[in-house]
Amino acid sequence: MASIYKKGRDKRKKCCPYYIDYVDQQGKRRTIKGFTDKEKTRLLANKKEEEVRLRVAGLIDPDLETLAEARNAEVNELVDRFEEHLKRKGGTAKYVAKILFRIREILKETKCRKLKELSREKVEQALARLQSNNNLANRTLNHYIQSIEQWETWLVNTGRKATHSLKGVTRKNNQIDIRRKRRALTEEEFSQLCSAALLSEKVVQGYSGSQRRDIYEFAFLTGFRKNELASLTPRSFQLGIECETVTIEASISKHRRKDVVPLHPYLAGKVREMAQYIPPDQPLFPKLASRKTWLMVKTDLNIAGIEYVNHEGYADFHAAGRHTFITTILKKGASLPEARKLARHAEIRMTMNYTHIGHEEQAKALAKLQPPSTIGKNTTCQRIVSNSGDSSGQQDAHSDITCLSNEIIEPDANPTTISLYDAPRQKKALSAESALKWRRGDLNPRPVNPKSWPLRV
């Protein structure tokens, strides 16, 4: 039985609320705040008692009740719960901050306070305003859509939302709005980049010329990203075995999986030299993750006389390393599945985004095709007329034109053999005996069977 009361200090005050004390379906005592009017508070207490009775009897679905409560929940509070979920899941601080920033920006633009006010139409309108006001690229806008869908998936999985109403928001085409297009370096350009760094006396971002050259070589021969290169220590390499490898831990890898990839023999020798003066747990390239690697590449490209930006795009560190690595191994004859494995991509479509095939490569591939006019250039068409060999000397009417490539086939030395060549059908040569039977059947047709004659009326 629910009880209604006022707190001791409020008993003689008229504007203070009443409180309701009751026991829920789990046997726990609950206290909720009522109204300043005693009768309204009594009605609320009776409602709570009735809800407890229905729950105990199983007449109220707890899932539907959870959905109803979540619909009236504040969206900011739900975003805070989602933040806790991402942190428990193991997301990095940078990743969590990006996801939450995008979600809060969309919700702020929709001006929705509660979950029940949120709709797909409002989200699409908010995205359009965000792109217009902030001049967002299509790819960036797609990241916003991905973040809000990820939040909604969590709401559905936790029972706070019934359906994916925001799933399927139209994404933009990335290819028509590329803000930072990258290009791969050729082998000659990359060689010039390494030579310029080695001969340079400048210290860029805390690295000498020889150190920069080593960083470029590791990026080109592994295809690793900047953070992955920064995590490499002598312990990351497995040397002295038949297939020497390098390992990227799951906490560093972009797709959060441990990667073990083959190591180039040249880098194996480099690592052996560097391991002589670097402790096993110390990074090969200290503080590389926080350095402006694009500035290093730009400086050395200028020394080598190579454009940092041209009509094909930027040649920053990611382009000079990873893009050049994937493009070069494909040019050297690697298959797409092999390139995907070495690049550690989930799909070949992503690998193709890193492949830069220029007009020169396309022209070389095109030159391998042989024009139709040059195929069988010495083709000779010969009409072969074969005699039947009978006493009348009648000429065989069934002679055709045969086109032979690079060779003239002479008539059969045996005059009793009749060669029949039909260009479209390619008939085989008939022997003299077969041809003779064919002529006899043609000159002496079989008589009509009297049984097949039509009856006269």
Q: Where are the alpha helices (DSSP H) in 167-261?
A: 187-199, 209-222, 226-230
Extract long-range pairs of 81-90: CB within 8 Å, 24+ residues apart: 82/151, 82/154, 85/154, 90/256
Amino acid code (one letter) for 211: Q
> Which is nearest to 141 in space by CA: 128, 153, 150?
128
The CA distances from residue 115 to 67, 75, 152, in Å, are 10, 6, 10
Q: What is the pLDDT of residue 166?
A: 83
Which residues face 20 on adjacent strands? 4, 32
Give per-10-residue mean pLDDT for the chain (457 aa): 83 85 85 89 88 77 72 89 90 89 94 89 93 90 93 90 83 81 92 94 93 95 94 93 91 87 92 91 93 95 94 92 93 90 89 82 76 61 44 42 40 42 48 60 57 49
CB 230 within 8 A of CB 283: yes
User: How far separated are the first and last CA of the chain, in Å rounded?
Assistant: 111
CB 298 within 8 A of CB 161: no
**185: which DSSP letter?**
P
Tokens of 331: 């040019």
Neighbours of 430 (CB within 10 A): 18
Q: Exposure pattern of 41-78 as b/e (b: 16+ CB <10 Å)?
A: bbebbeebeebbeebeeeeeeeeeeeeeebeebebeeb
User: Cβ neighbours of residue 221 under 8 Å, at least 6 residues apart?
Assistant: 264, 266, 267, 325
Provide the pLDDT for residue 403.
40
Q: Which H or E run includes 154?
A: helix 138-157
How do beta strands 313-314 and 380-383 pair?
unpaired
* SS3 call for 108: helix
